[in-house]
């Protein structure tokens, strides 16, 4: 079919240029000329990704004449195999573009290569694919997203001003095999090391409230002098707040997060959470979709440098 052939030609051009972008969401079109863009996210139990999906759907509704959207997510943050199956289904269904927030920075690369080989434009959002694994597979996938290390450093620096050198802190990391978890941990470490804090524990909370709560509880029990918990996302920060309260240390142990989800805002107001970072969840998929549409139209993405289109991230504190 002419449409499939032209799509494959475009994907080849995009790969050669090392610039492939695309966004996502689901709604069926009425004309065969409109491209179908698949948005594949991580856990829809996480408010961040529900907000991302809502933003993508709203954008598609406003631009229904330009593309169709198919959105999918997984049940929990570590369900990598289900996300791989979703991508395989999108390949079989013949989508024109794939905008993906991978649950694992390495494990999803082989199936993404299958998508590229099928002539599908691929855009990476939220959690960046491992550049070395991409290189090993001889593929290029553009990343559209924020500087996670920078965002976490901003949060950590704000926290450090409310601690003193030598204070003990713990870091609750996301899924350790994800690039954004690693980068946020690095940003927290940058800020804590610069301020002379003592990082006494670093454990994964898998991005989830319950695991974040369990990890925070263990840290509080093991380190009675702990002064702060730095959570790699707001879901884990919610769990940390509950752990601090259960330990009878509310007001004594500061908690920070990352994402600025709706559930964290009352806690910012009353001081249970000191700070978080806003990476504009409702716009992340939209940024990817806009990039994908440009690529499908044969246009170069704006503000791209070395395969990255950087999007905003800002410190958020109590109003």
Write down the pTM of the prediction.
0.86
Same domain, 153 and 140: no
- Is there a contact between 133 and 147 (Cβ–Cβ < 8 Å)? no
- Is there a contact between 151 and 279 (Cβ–Cβ < 8 Å)? yes
State the pLDDT confidence band at 33, using cuts at 50, 70 and 90.
confident
Backbone angles phi and psi of 67, in degrees to 5: -165, 160
- Report in angstroms the alpha-carbon separations of 209 from 66, 107, 244, 255, 319: 38, 24, 13, 14, 24
Residues 6+ apart with CB under 8 A from 316: 260, 268, 275, 276, 277, 278
Residues 6+ apart with CB under 8 A from 166: 196, 197, 198
- Is there a contact between 9 and 275 (Cβ–Cβ < 8 Å)? no
Is the predicted pLDDT of residue 15 greater than 80, yes or no? Answer: no
State the pLDDT confidence band at 32, using cuts at 50, 70 and 90.
low
- Across 74-78, 103-107, 179-183, 188-192, least confident range: 74-78
How far is 316 from 63, CA to CA, in rounded Å?
31
Is residue 32 included in any domain, yes or no? Answer: yes
- For the chain, what is the domain count? 2
- Is there a contact between 64 and 34 (Cβ–Cβ < 8 Å)? no
Same domain, 36 and 89: yes
Is residue 98 included in any domain, yes or no? Answer: yes
Is the predicted pLDDT of residue 34 greater than 80, yes or no? Answer: yes
Q: Could you read off the pLDDT of 59-73 as tens digits, one per residue?
A: 999 999 999 999 999
Is residue 223 included in any domain, yes or no? Answer: yes
Is the predicted pLDDT of residue 97 greater than 50, yes or no? Answer: yes
Report the greatest alpha carbon distance in the chain.
67
Is the predicted pLDDT of residue 277 greater than 60, yes or no? Answer: yes
Same domain, 220 and 140: no
Q: Could you read off the pLDDT of 119-133 as tens digits, one per residue?
A: 999 999 999 999 999
Mind spelling out the 3-state secondary structure of 103-153?
Answer: CCCCCCHHHHHHHHHCCCEEEEECCCCCHHHHHHCCCCCCEEECCHHHHHH
Is the predicted pLDDT of residue 298 greater than 60, yes or no? Answer: yes
Arithmetic mean of pLDDT, 14-27: 38
Same domain, 104 and 215: no
Same domain, 182 and 253: yes
Dig out the tokens for 123 from the structure: 């855009």
Same domain, 59 and 205: no
Same domain, 286 and 272: no
How far is 35 from 67, CA to CA, in rounded Å?
5
Give Cα 171 distance to the centre of its chain: 18
Domain that holds residue 119: 2-145+281-311
How far is 152 from 277, CA to CA, in rounded Å?
7
Same domain, 71 and 140: yes
Is residue 240 included in any domain, yes or no? Answer: yes
How far is 52 from 68, CA to CA, in rounded Å?
16
Q: What is the CA radius of gyration of the chain?
A: 20
Arithmetic mean of pLDDT, 27-45: 78
Is the predicted pLDDT of residue 151 greater than 90, yes or no? Answer: yes
Is residue 316 included in any domain, yes or no? Answer: no
State the pLDDT confidence band at 318, using cuts at 50, 70 and 90.
confident
Work out the number of other CB atoms within 10 angstroms of the CB of residue 17. Answer: 15
Dig out the tokens for 180 from the structure: 């954004």
Task: Check the CA dihedral 281-287-289-290 and report its sign.
Answer: positive
Same domain, 127 and 63: yes
Same domain, 168 and 262: yes
Same domain, 14 and 73: yes
Average pLDDT, the chain: 91
How far is 19 from 305, CA to CA, in rounded Å?
9
Is the predicted pLDDT of residue 4 greater than 50, yes or no? Answer: no
Is residue 253 included in any domain, yes or no? Answer: yes
Q: Could you read off the pLDDT of 194-243 as tens digits, one per residue?
A: 999 999 999 999 999 999 999 999 999 999 999 999 999 999 999 999 99
Question: CA torsion 90→94→99→100, rounded to 10°?
Answer: 20
| Of residues 302, 251, 301, 305, the one with CA closest to residue 273 | 251
Dig out the tokens for 307 from the structure: 């395969």
Is the predicted pLDDT of residue 22 greater than 60, yes or no? Answer: no
Same domain, 58 and 126: yes
Is residue 71 included in any domain, yes or no? Answer: yes
pLDDT of residue 205: 98
How far is 199 from 177, CA to CA, in rounded Å?
21
What CATH number should be reported for the domain holding residue 262? 3.40.50.2300
State the pLDDT confidence band at 3, using cuts at 50, 70 and 90.
very low
Q: Is 319 helix (H, G, I), strand (E, B) or coil?
A: coil
Is residue 104 included in any domain, yes or no? Answer: yes
Q: Could you read off the pLDDT of 234-259 as tens digits, one per residue?
A: 999 999 999 999 999 999 999 999 99
How far is 205 from 203, CA to CA, in rounded Å?
7
Arithmetic mean of pLDDT, 79-103: 98
């Amino acid at each position: 079919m002419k449409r499939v052939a032209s799509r494959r030609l475009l994907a080849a051009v995009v790969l050669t240029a090392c610039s492939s972008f695309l966004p996502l969401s689901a709604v069926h079109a009425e004309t065969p000329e409109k491209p179908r863009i698949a948005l594949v996210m991580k856990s829809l139990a996480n408010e961040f990704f529900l907000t991302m999906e809502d933003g993508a759907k709203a954008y598609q509704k406003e631009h229904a004449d330009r593309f169709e959207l198919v959105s999918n997510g997984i049940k929990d943050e570590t369900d990598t195999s289900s996300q791989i199956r979703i991508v395989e289904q999108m390949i079989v269904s013949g989508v024109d573009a794939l905008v993906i927030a991978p649950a694992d920075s390495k494990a999803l690369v082989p199936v993404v290569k299958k998508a590229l080989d099928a002539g599908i434009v691929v855009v990476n959002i939220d959690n960046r694919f491992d550049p070395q694994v991409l290189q090993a597979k001889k593929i290029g996938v553009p990343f559209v997203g924020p500087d996670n290390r920078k965002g976490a450093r901003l949060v950590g620096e704000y926290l450090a001003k409310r601690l003193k050198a030598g204070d003990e802190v713990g870091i609750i990391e996301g899924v350790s095999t994800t690039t954004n978890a690693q980068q946020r941990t690095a940003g927290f470490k940058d800020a804590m090391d610069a301020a002379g804090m003592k990082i006494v524990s670093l454990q994964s909370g898998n991005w989830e409230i319950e695991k974040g709560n369990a990890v925070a509880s263990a840290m509080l029990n093991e380190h009675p002098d702990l002064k702060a918990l730095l959570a790699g996302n707001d879901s884990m920060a919610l769990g940390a707040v509950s752990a601090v309260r259960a330990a009878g240390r509310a007001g004594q142990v500061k908690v920070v997060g990352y994402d600025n989800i709706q559930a964290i805002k009352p806690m910012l107001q009353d001081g249970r959470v000191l700070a978080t970072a806003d990476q504009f969840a409702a716009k992340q998929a939209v940024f990817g979709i806009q990039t994908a549409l440009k690529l499908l139209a044969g246009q170069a993405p704006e503000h791209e440098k070395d395969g990255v289109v950087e999007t905003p991230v800002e410190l958020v504190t109590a109003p």
